[in-house]
Amino acid sequence: MIDFTLPELGEDITSGDVLRVMVKPGDIVAKDQPILELETDKATIEVPSSVAGQVKEVKVKAGDKVKVGQVILSVDQGAAPAEAPAQPARQAPAAQTATSSPRRAGTQSDTSEARASPPPPSAERAVAANTAARVPDDSGLESQVEGARRVTAPDKAGVRPEQAAEEPRSKVVEITRGTRAPSEPAPELSPAPAAPSVRRMARELGVDITEVVGSGPSGRISIEDVKAHAKRLMTGAAQRGGKTAAAAEPLPDFSRWGEVDRQPMRAVRRKTAEHLTAAWAVPHVTQHDLADITALEELRKRFAKEVEAAGGQLTVTAIAVKVVAAALKVFPQFNASLDLAAEEIVYKKYVNVGVAVDTDRGLLVPVIRDADTKNLTELSVELSELAAKARTRKITLDEMRGGTFSVSNLGGIGGTAFTPIINVPEVAILGISRARMEPLWRADAERHRGSAGGAFVPRLMLPLSLSYDHRAIDGADGIRFLRWVVEALEQPFLLALHG
């Protein structure tokens, strides 16, 4: 008998919600067979089995929240199918540092597997000698991984942990909740230069390792760098007036006044709440304007069939992405991020536009990379594909990262204007509301009425709302950017002239 535990699913993924259990007691499973469908903060992942045999007990069910290292099911390896025999255990030297090795699975989604096998004798003695492990921090930061305890095998060969971390990944051993599993060699490593022990420290402190600036050779990240970054985050939260998450007052007993129904927050909603709470601490300014898109709408309808033949939809959102991508080249301060710790502004030389998509799980923001290098047809096709993947839970985490500016279009639902919240660490976002026909005074109208020599004519007006981080962008630059977008929508030739 062996327990299959939830493996590591990525650098910043520690838990998820079970959507579907794909096996039941008595089933025969093979290695790499999907056994669990899990919803993380932003994506749905199929978790493959790292063991083969007959399922004896399933310890989770749909709706459960599970954490990395938690036991998912028990398998009798004696009943393993002949075509998928269990791999023999590989021994690890006692001097090896116990840690985990993430592995990239799929094309763009960060997932990993923990290959379960009987522990080496040295690792068993380490478990017996270390029943609990905590991560000390001399600055007062101290974290203990809930539901999973990792302990380091004693160093009997005089090798420093930093050196042990650099050993081949095939020798790395993970000890999680009493289950030891050697990891497969990672075919693709994360770009952040850090040892596995440093990455573990970052995960336990809730720090994104990719945001830490390393002080070692070639920017290598040390444990002290992770601690310093965590302290900066805490200091920044304190300067903003309190905790990163909103400190809610105790709620009254609502059942006193009638029947209530309590339901747990889903993973996407939890992540959205946390992210927007942090984003709301940014000093927002929102400016509104109207764009006359009467001529643009005629062009959109004229060329819609051509874009549909290519596999996309020529929508106002796709056109707005094209316009914004051109505007960001003219106004680079909107394609930047603030690094307050280093007292620097990071200007990005690439243009990745995120587009908010409404799904049954909540709001997701796929990212169109290098939007400034793609024509309108290419943008329309890619936007249609990403939106479909988001709504069918096929979107990957990598497809929602790296954005430099966001666009949110609520016009398909309604409304006249709104205040979009900046998708930090970006510094600006463009909101689009529903276009409607309005009377507009035109002095150059063909039919002149009245002594003023003009007339009111029906024009299709599109409401735009630009929110920006006032720490990075001044009000004058904000309205200049918005006016440039308005004029580009009203006179599409400007894109060819200036974009």
Q: Looking at residue 462, what is its pLDDT?
A: 97
Handedness of CA 386, 387, 393, 397 (dihedral sign): positive
Residue with tokens 């990891």: 183
Confidence at 79, pLDDT banded by 50, 70, 90: low
Confidence at 497, pLDDT banded by 50, 70, 90: low
Q: Looking at residue 50, what is its pLDDT?
A: 87
Query: What is the pLDDT of the chain when averaged over all its residues?
Result: 76
Q: Which residue has the higher pLDDT, 279 or 235?
A: 279
Q: Looking at residue 191, what is its pLDDT?
A: 59
DSSP H or E segment with residue 103: none
Rounded CA-CA distance 351/372 in Å is: 6
Residue 118 has pLDDT above 90, yes or no: no
Residue 395 has pLDDT above 70, yes or no: yes
Q: ω into residue 425 within 30 of 0, thus cis?
A: yes
Confidence at 80, pLDDT banded by 50, 70, 90: low
Q: Looking at residue 281, what is its pLDDT?
A: 81
Identify whether the C-beta of residue 182 lies closer than 8 Å to the C-beta of residue 123.
no
Which structure tokens are listed for 79? 């009943």
Q: Looking at residue 236, what is its pLDDT?
A: 62
> Which residues are known to be catalytic?
470
Calculate the alpha carbon distances from 239 to 97, 204, 247 in Å.
38, 23, 15
Closest CA to 21 of 5, 3, 35: 35
Do the bridges between strand 428-432 and strand 405-409 make them parallel or antiparallel, or are there none, so unpaired?
Answer: parallel
Q: Looking at residue 378, what is its pLDDT?
A: 95
Q: Looking at residue 353, what is its pLDDT?
A: 98
Identify whether the C-beta of residue 38 lies closer than 8 Å to the C-beta of residue 17.
yes
With respect to CATH, is domain 2-189 assigned 2.40.50.100? yes
CA 71: distance to chain centroid? 26
Radius of gyration over alpha carbons of the chain, in Å?
27
Confidence at 20, pLDDT banded by 50, 70, 90: confident
Residue 246 has pLDDT above 50, yes or no: no
Long-range contacts for 236-245 (Cβ within 8 Å, ≥24 apart)? 236/340, 236/341, 237/281, 240/281, 241/281, 244/274, 244/277, 244/278, 245/274, 245/277
Q: What is the DSSP string of 218-273?
A: GG-B-HHHHHHHHHHHHHHHHHTTS-SS--PPPPP-GGGSS-----PPPHHHHHHH
In the CATH hierarchy, which top-level class contains the domain 267-498? alpha beta
Rounded CA-CA distance 290/44 in Å is: 38
Calculate the alpha carbon distances from 261 to 162, 248, 255, 256, 258 in Å.
51, 20, 9, 13, 10
Q: What angle do CA 197, 98, 161 make, to 5 degrees?
A: 55
Closest CA to 44 of 331, 344, 310, 390: 390
Give domain limits for the chain.
2-189, 267-498
Residue 99 has pLDDT above 60, yes or no: no
Which structure tokens are listed for 286? 């929102």
Closest CA to 429 of 281, 286, 330, 280: 286
Residue with tokens 């199918």: 81
Where is average pLDDT lowest: 24-33, 307-316, 423-432? Answer: 24-33
Mean pLDDT for 221-238 is 77
Which structure tokens are listed for 347? 């200007």
Confidence at 211, pLDDT banded by 50, 70, 90: confident
Where do the H-state alpha helices sit in 251-403? 267-280, 294-309, 316-330, 376-391
Identify whether the C-beta of residue 467 lies closer than 8 Å to the C-beta of residue 419.
yes
Span 57-68, pLDDT tens digits: 999 988 888 888
Span 273-331, pLDDT tens digits: 877 777 788 889 999 999 999 999 999 999 999 999 999 999 999 999 999 999 999 99
Rounded CA-CA distance 275/320 in Å is: 25
Q: Which residue has the higher pLDDT, 490 or 125?
A: 490
- pTM of the complete model: 0.56
